[in-house]
Amino acid sequence: MNLKSVRSAAETLVRRHAQDHCPIDVEAIATALGLKIVETELPEEVSGLLVSGPNGEFIVVQESDYPNRKRFTIGHEIAHHFLRHQFAPGEHVHVDRGHLVTQRGPRSSTGLDPKEIEANQFAAALLMPSRLVQREVSKLGATHLLDYHVSSLAETFQVSEQSMTIRLTSLGYL
């Protein structure tokens, strides 16, 4: 799947769940998809897991992460579920007591794994849909966005400033 289609799928999912305000209720979307969210202490290098087993599918997030990080992790794991990413046993996947566990490993953040790139793009579009970004940028009435605009938008969408900067850049605002 190309990245434009991935982002489009995320934005369609937001519209399907009648999310027309900021911040997007990513937990409600996960619940609507049948994904339960569990917060627990995970190994330091793991932000989240997608667990499939006889009792359903769960998104497990790092309990100690900041709320905005948890939101992005939930969006990322929704992407793996929604895009039906199947990982081969090995680096990301292991079976534990009948559960298939997919976790973000060290390679996930390198920007080299196509499925991880898709999941990150999906999460960004899910949390910061282009139509809502456009609406919020218009409210600012600025000709050029400055650092404090980015900070304000990040707060509105409950994402990190880094995520907002990347999304604004990809949408042509920066």
pLDDT in tens, 86-125: 655 444 443 344 444 555 555 555 557 788 899 999 999 9
**For residue 100, what pLDDT is reported?**
46
The answer to whether residues 13 and 29 touch, using CB atoms and an 8 Å cutoff, is yes
Give the Å distances, CA to CA, from 32 to 13, 14, 37, 86, 161. 10, 11, 12, 21, 28
Q: How far is it, in rounded angstroms, from Cα 159 to Cα 28?
A: 17
Among 19-33, 48-62, 64-78, 86-100, the range scoring the smallest mean pLDDT is 86-100
pLDDT at 55 over 70: yes
Q: How far is it, in rounded angstroms, from Cα 130 to Cα 136?
A: 10
- HEC profile for the chain? CCHHHHHHHHHHHHHHCCCCCCCCCHHHHHHHCCEEEEEECCCCCCCEEEEEECCEEEEEEECCCCHHHHHHHHHHHHHHHHCCCCCCECCCEEEECCEEEEECCHHHHHCCCHHHHHHHHHHHHHHCCHHHHHHHHHHHCCCCCCHHHHHHHHHHHCCCHHHHHHHHHHCCCC
pLDDT at 17 over 70: yes
pLDDT in tens, 69-96: 999 999 999 999 999 886 554 444 433 4
pTM: 0.85
Work out the pLDDT band at 38, boundaries 50, 70, 90.
Answer: very high
Mean pLDDT of all residues in the chain? 85
Residue among 127, 50, 129, 57 at smallest CA distance from 93? 50
